[in-house]
Amino acid sequence: MSEKADKDELRVEIEREHFVRAALLAASLGIGEEEIQDIRLKALRQISAEYRNAPGTKSLAQQYGFSKQKVKNLLEKYAEEKRKEGNDKVLAHCYDLSAGEYLSFEEWVDQLLKDWDK
């Protein structure tokens, strides 16, 4: 594929909000580290806040070289940003199968961090 086609594919993946795929593609294209990091943060936020996927969050964090503390800080900052925007839908209570109950995003993050080393 040509460089233009590759960059178009990256743009499309970002527009579709396929951030995990976009991060892989950006890394393979040799895009700047700052842009790759931005896409990786979006991927981590998405798998955490939107999908509430604890194993996926931990796996992505490990792939991206993020520590448990960094993940905690990133997700707390994300929750704060959403609250300030008035867009707290993503922070609302959501059923968590492993906990067997509805958890707010903050409760879900606490559970994620508690179970991180298991």
* pLDDT on residue 88: 86
pLDDT tens, position by position, 25-38? 999 999 999 999 99
Low-confidence residues in the chain, pLDDT < 70: 1
Query: What are the distances in angstroms from CA 21 to CA 4, 34, 61, 67, 84?
Result: 18, 17, 15, 21, 29
Q: Is 103 helix (H, G, I), strand (E, B) or coil?
A: strand
Contact 64, 40 (CB under 8 A): yes
